[in-house]
Amino acid sequence: MSDPRRLEVLRAIVEDYVHFREPVGSKVLVERHQLGVSSATIRNDMAALEEEGLIAAPHTSAGRIPTDKGYRLFVDQLASVKPLSAAERRAIHSFLDSASDLDDVLERSARLLSQLTRQVAVVQYPKASQARLRHLEVVALGGSQVLLVLITDTGSVDQRVVDLGQVLAESDVAVLRTMFLAACANQPLDALRETVPVLTATVAPGLQQPAAALAAALLSLLDSSAEERIVLAGTANLARATMDFPLSIGPVLEALEEQVVMLRLLTEMHQDQHGVAVSIGRENPFDELAGTSVVATGYGKGSASKVGVLGPTRMDYPSSMAAVRAVARYLSRILAG
């Protein structure tokens, strides 16, 4: 499969099918593209492409549509990432620069990406496990309750109200605060799982119980913040995309709500030479997503967190890849600054 014209034919089929949303035949192909040969020749090429499983015909007298394998080859070898328009770049800047906190940034990114690509956007929360603890605070709330606050260097803040089981003097709270802070500051969150349990051993006898309660709360807080989440936007675009094709929208919506599915998918994908990961149709490990493709890439520290879009396999891959990459870059920049 190295004949350059055949590759050109495949590209033309993919592009036309994405554009017009209907099977494309040999005749329109030569009309719409400067292929320099007749439709009969194209037919021979198409037969060969079908032989290789790159395209298929819904029925005898219809044109051809790309298979998953065809899209794959297109993405790997034929797609040049389409540069964003000036208007799109402007949109990214104006959209994200006005964001305030982390939640806001992620939500805006998702919305933006869904508007740019007219697809469903998915943004994973920055991974907490790789983050370091920037600050830890213990605040007395009155009674036996204190508030435990964790701030990581990714900018996320988690907190939980803890009942220490006994009323403590402000000075004792300060002791606990200092102790925990000294032990935890600047540690990666993962490391805390080991250091924290040991902490209570070194504490004064009278503070044993409260310290243990606090440690337990801290650990459970680590767990729940490591519990990863995603932000969605543009699910309505699914409805549009599903209009003309028998990709029933229900299971896809379920998969999206079942965040675990998307999280696993995002982490399992790995980026290709374009710096973008693409999972096409049945390549997806989930049957519900057999009719959809996901274009994703990493952002943030070590590109550990993912951002991407999900749409029908018949999607505009070059544009999607460009938009995803651009948003990821901008996201990284904002989070780093």
Contact residues for DNA, defined by CB under 7 A: 5, 23-28, 36-41, 43-44, 46-47, 50, 57, 59-64
Q: Could you say which of DNA, a copy of itself, none residue 157 binds, taking C-beta under 5 to 8 angstroms by partner kind?
A: a copy of itself
- 226 lies in the binding site for a copy of itself (CB under 8 A): no
- What is the maximal distance between C-alpha atoms in the chain? 91
Contact 307, 116 (CB under 8 A): no
* φ, ψ of residue 54 in degrees (nearest 5): -90, -25
Q: 159: closest CA among 217, 100, 228?
A: 217
Which of 101, 163, 268, 287 contacts a copy of itself by CB under 8 A? 101
Q: Could you say which of DNA, a copy of itself, none residue 267 binds, taking C-beta under 5 to 8 angstroms by partner kind?
A: none
Nearer to a copy of itself, 48 or 151 (CB): 151
Where helices occur in 185-235 by DSSP H, the ranges are 189-199, 208-226
- 147 lies in the binding site for a copy of itself (CB under 8 A): yes
- 163 lies in the binding site for a copy of itself (CB under 8 A): no
Q: How far apart are CA 185 and CA 178, in angstroms?
A: 10
Residues 104-143 that bind a copy of itself (CB under 8 A): 104, 134-135, 137, 139, 141
CB of 75 to a copy of itself, least distance (A): 28
Which of 85, 248, 285, 287 contacts a copy of itself by CB under 8 A? 248
CA distances from 325 to 109, 119, 136, 307 (A): 12, 15, 34, 9
Per-residue exposure over 282-307, b if at least 16 CB sit within 10 Å of its own CB, e if not: ebbebebbebbbbbbbbbbbeebbbb
Question: Across the strands, what pairs with 123?
Answer: 231, 307
- Coil, helix or strand at residue 27: helix
CB of 302 to a copy of itself, least distance (A): 22
- 251 lies in the binding site for a copy of itself (CB under 8 A): yes
Nearer to DNA, 26 or 124 (CB): 26
CB of 48 to DNA, least distance (A): 9
